């Protein structure tokens, strides 16, 4: 567990193992009592219809049946005797077989398939990549590619209905642009290690109904690796980062890796004239002592790199918490995008750097948490 400030629930940064990329508000409102609020923590008015589940539950009537009846109003059952009891017994005997038939499960509700249906999806910075496919098994077959699936055959990497590939935003797949939408997915199987991938805009196709050439298709070569045998065809996302993911197919002795790159929801760069006032060395101090931090004094240096404003702690706050990109959300207000090996792994909207100015320019900063409490501050040294 990484350390946190001892005097509040502030989360100053996240570790590379758990990250999000949430958007922050660009507004800079004023809270009650003329207290400045951070853009990501200011009060907001929810629409009248956006009531909590508890409020909705509290306003529900006892029953939705006509007349306002509910189970509470049903009188208790009483024993029936005499002739009425006899007739009731006869009716019950006739009714039991009918109830048994009604209770039988529908045949379509549970089916065993040789290739069971599966879905896999991954969200990366708001982009959702989703595949739906059936999963064929080896079932003792020794040769799949070059045997069951012939060389030069156009094959869907699944079974039954064609595997579908769907994205809610434009992406690049293995370096090739793919517009948002839903596609059926096909591969031309070759004896060499270079196959061809085809995305067809006609998503609903049976696996034997191989696509002809139509407008909107996306074709490009892909590399195939030989690997340890896998019994059941599997699509997965074995690697995920802030800018994309690795999409992998494995079956039999074949493995295909497809690099997915997604658009960033943040602009990591700024014009040089906006970066210049912040460059240099700054002090850094907690407003209240932190028992976990034994560093004593610390500096924060801002520099420019590839059009981004980079903050660097010295010494680092803790292992892995040294560098971040300052993302502007309002005039002189920033949130940190933490870096690991040069890549963004977490955009932290829970803290805000607010810089102060005087006649000489930018002179100091305060770091605020979600409650708008200041928990760190610093002054420009050079």
For the chain, counts of helices (H) and of strands (E): 3, 19
In the chain, CATH 2.40.128.50 sits at 266-379
Distance separating the N- and C-terminal Cα atoms of the chain? 35
Instruction: Report the distance separating Cα 184 and Cα 297, nearest Å.
Output: 58
Secondary structure percentages of the chain, helix, strand, coil, to 5: 15, 40, 45
Would you identify the CATH topology of the domain 266-379? Lipocalin (2.40.128)
pLDDT of the chain, 382 residues: tens digit per residue: 444 444 444 444 444 444 443 333 434 444 444 444 444 444 444 344 434 333 433 433 343 334 443 334 434 434 444 444 444 454 544 554 454 444 455 454 556 777 889 999 999 999 999 999 999 999 999 899 999 999 999 999 999 999 999 999 999 999 999 999 999 999 999 999 999 999 999 999 998 889 999 999 999 999 999 999 999 999 999 999 989 999 999 999 999 999 999 999 888 999 999 999 999 999 999 998 888 887 778 999 999 999 999 999 999 888 888 999 999 999 999 999 999 988 898 999 999 999 999 998 999 999 999 899 999 999 999 8
* Alpha carbon distance 295, 284 (integer Å): 11
Contact 214, 202 (CB under 8 A): yes
């Amino acid at each position: 567990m990484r350390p946190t400030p001892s005097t509040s629930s502030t989360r100053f940064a996240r570790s590379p193992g758990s990250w999000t990329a949430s958007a922050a508000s660009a507004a800079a409102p004023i809270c009650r009592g003329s207290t400045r609020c951070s853009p990501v923590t200011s009060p907001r008015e929810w629409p009248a219809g956006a009531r909590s589940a508890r409020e909705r539950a509290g306003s529900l009537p006892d029953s939705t049946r006509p007349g306002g009846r509910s189970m509470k109003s049903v009188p208790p059952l009483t024993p029936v005797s005499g002739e009425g009891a006899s007739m009731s017994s006869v009716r019950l005997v006739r009714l039991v077989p009918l109830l048994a038939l009604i209770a039988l499960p529908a045949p379509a509700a549970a089916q065993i398939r040789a290739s069971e249906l599966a879905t896999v999806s991954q969200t990366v910075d708001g982009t959702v990549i989703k595949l739906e496919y059936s999963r064929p098994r080896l079932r003792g077959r020794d040769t799949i590619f070059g045997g069951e699936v012939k060389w030069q055959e156009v094959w869907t990497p699944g079974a039954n209905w064609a595997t579908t590939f769907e994205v809610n935003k434009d992406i690049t797949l293995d370096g090739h642009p793919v517009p948002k939408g839903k596609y059926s997915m096909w591969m031309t199987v070759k004896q060499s290690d270079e196959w061809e991938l085809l995305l067809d805009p006609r998503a609903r196709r049976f696996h034997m109904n191989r696509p002809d050439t139509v407008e909107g298709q996306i074709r490009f070569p892909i590399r195939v690796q030989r690997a340890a045998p896998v019994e059941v065809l599997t699509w997965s996302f074995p690697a995920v980062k802030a800018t994309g993911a690795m999409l992998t197919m494995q079956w039999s002795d074949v493995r295909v890796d497809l690099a997915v790159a997604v658009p960033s929801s943040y602009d990591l760069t700024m014009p040089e004239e906006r970066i210049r006032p912040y460059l240099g060395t700054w002090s850094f101090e907690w407003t209240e002592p932190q028992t976990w931090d034994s560093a004593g004094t610390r500096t924060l240096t801002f520099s420019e790199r590839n059009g981004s404003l980079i903050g660097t702690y010295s010494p680092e706050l803790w292992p892995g918490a040294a560098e971040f990109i300052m993302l502007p959300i309002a005039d002189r207000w920033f949130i940190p995008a933490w870096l690991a090996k040069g890549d963004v792994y977490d955009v932290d909207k829970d803290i805000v750097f607010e810089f102060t100015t005087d006649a000489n320019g930018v002179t100091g900063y305060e770091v605020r948490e979600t409650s708008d409490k200041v928990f760190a501050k610093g002054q420009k040294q050079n």
